[in-house]
Amino acid sequence: MKLVRWGSKGSEKPGALDRDGRVRDLSSVLPDLAGAALSSASLAGLGSLDLHSLPLAPADARLGPCVGQVGKIICVGLNYSDHAAESNMPVPSEPVLFFKATSSIVGPNDDVVIPPGAEKVDWEVELGVVIGEEARYVSRERALDHVAGYCVVNDVSERAWQIECGGQWDKGKSADTFAPLGPWLVTRDDIPDPQALDMWLDVDGKRYQQGNTRTMIFDVATVVSYISHFMSLQPGDVISTGTPPGVGMGQKPAPVYLRAGQVMRLGVEGLGEQQQRTVASTAQASAFTR
C-alpha cells in the first residue's frame, strides 16, 4: 500500500494511492499517518479498505512528508563501502549513527533552501525506514517486524559544517528543508526485500548517483536491531540508511556542490520519486564565523 500525506504545510491530511495512482483522502478513517496509525494492526485495517469509496484529494494537492509527528531521524553514515572510499573515510566496523533535526523535514517536492553562509551543500539519495512498532533490544531476525514501511529520503548535507566545524555531523545535516521525505510511505508487505532496490539521483538532468541497496555494508535488519540496543525506536521514527557513491563531495577532479536555481530528481525503486528546486535563503547571515 502506498500512503501519503497531502495538503498545505502543517495541515497535511492522510491519504492513499488507489490502483489508478490517484490520492484518496483517509482523514475520515484516521487523523494522520503518525504514531499508532503506523502499527501493523492499523496498516492491516487500511489495507482492507475499499479506497474507491473514499473521496479524491485535489489533483494538484501538494504532497507533504509521508510521515507525521516524527520523533527522531536516525541516520547511518558511510553505509556503502564505495561511498566511504569517495569520502576518504575508512569503512566502518559498526554502523556510524548521527541525527538530523526533525525541523529539517519537508515534503518530497518542496524547495531546498541553501542556508546563509553555506558553500558546500550536497545531495544524498537514501532508503528511509519508518518504524511502526516500538523496538527495544530486538534481534536481527525480528527487526523487520517493527518496520511499518519504506520511503525515499534526500539527506541534504552542508559538508563544511558537517566535517570542518568539529564535533558531530549533525551541524551539517539539520538545516531547515534538509530532509525531504516521500512521496510515499510504502508498507512493508509491498517491499519484500529492501536489499534489492535500485536508487538514483540527478542534478539538472545529470545522473550523479546510481546504486542498489544490496551493496549496503549493514542491511536494514541489522541497522534496526543495532540502533534498538542504544535507544528505543518509536512508531514514526525514521532511519535513513546511507547513500551510494556519487555525492558532490566525491566528484573528480573537483567537488561539485549545489547552488540556487538547480533541480534535484531522485528515487528509490518502488518508492517513487522526489524533485526539489534549490533556492537561496532570504534570512540574514548571522555573525557566526568558523
Which band of pLDDT confidence, cut at 50, 70 and 90, is reported for residue 260?
very high
Residues 290 and 120: beta-carbon distance below 8 Å: no
**How much is the pLDDT for 167?**
78
Res. 106 pLDDT band, cuts 50 70 90: very high
Establish whether the linkage from the previous residue to 180 is cis, with ω within 30° of 0. Answer: no
Q: What is the mean pLDDT of residues 222-250?
A: 97
CA torsion angle 176 180 186 187 (round to 10): -20
Residues 54-65 pLDDT 10s: 999 999 999 999
**CATH no. for 73-280:** 3.90.850.10
Q: Could you read off the pLDDT of 196-206 as tens digits, one per residue?
A: 999 999 999 99
CA separation for the pair 164, 172 (Å, rounded): 9
What dihedral angle (degrees, nearest 10) is formed by the CA atoms of 267, 273, 278, 281? -110
Residue 85, pLDDT score: 80
Where helices occur in the chain by DSSP H, the ranges are 40-47, 81-86, 159-163, 220-228
Q: Where are the domains of the chain?
A: 2-53, 73-280
pLDDT band at 86 (very low <50, low <70, confident <90, very high): confident
Instruction: Report the pLDDT averaged over residues 254-260.
Output: 97
Rg (CA), the chain: 18
Could you give the CA distance from residue 84 to residue 262 in angstroms, rounded to a whole number? 26
67 pLDDT higher than 70: yes
Torsions phi, psi for 280 (to 5 deg): -80, 145
Q: Cα–Cα distance between 242 and 84 in angstroms, integer? A: 10
The whole-number average pLDDT for the span 227-243 is 98
Average pLDDT value for residue range 6-24: 97
Q: What pLDDT shows up at residue 164?
A: 92
With b meaning 16 or more CB within 10 Å and e meaning fewer, what string describes 47-72?
eeeebeebeebeeebbbbbbbbebbb
Give residue 246's pLDDT: 96
* Residue 88, pLDDT score: 79
Percentage of the chain beyond pLDDT 90 is 90
Average predicted confidence (pLDDT) for the chain = 95
284 confidence band (pLDDT: 50, 70, 90) = confident
Average the pLDDT over 228-250 and give the result: 97
What pLDDT score was predicted for residue 107? 98
287: pLDDT strictly greater than 70 = no
